[in-house]
Amino acid sequence: MKIMFWNVRGLGKAYRRSLVKSHVIQEELDVVAVQETIKTDFVDWELKEMAGNKDFVWYWIPAKGHSGDLLTGVKWETFEVEDSVLEEFYMAILVRHRSTNVRY
């Protein structure tokens, strides 16, 4: 299992999204968690592009100015999302590994 946590400092520009995509592909990541996206919303193609066209389930908390925003993607092939809690400045996601049935 490979996880990336990153203070990305903005995902509005294609260049930043391509950096996330490069890491997802190169490191074969299962979970991507970024903060400071400085975005209030995402469209499907942005998320699909950042995942390297792999199937990820995405959760996010919108930005309030330049703070308070979180984005987490979970690779569908590896994990099943069993529960999620999204608060103003907090995110928790309970996942189950599909092959081992271990919960994280």
Number of domains observed in the structure of the chain: 1
Average pLDDT over residues 93-99: 97
Confirm whether 8 is domain-assigned: yes
Average pLDDT over residues 27-42: 94
> Rounded to whole angstroms, how far apart are CA atoms 32 and 72?
5
Which structural domain, as residue segments, surrounds residue 64? 3-77
pTM of the model: 0.90
Confirm whether 47 is domain-assigned: yes
Confirm whether 66 is domain-assigned: yes
Residue 28 above 80 pLDDT? yes
Confirm whether 91 is domain-assigned: no
Is residue 45 classed as helix, strand or coil in its secondary structure? helix
Residue 60: pLDDT band with limits 50, 70, 90? very high
> Residue 27 is inside which H or E element, if any?
helix 14-27
Confirm whether 28 is domain-assigned: yes
Confirm whether 69 is domain-assigned: yes
Confirm whether 82 is domain-assigned: no
Confirm whether 88 is domain-assigned: no
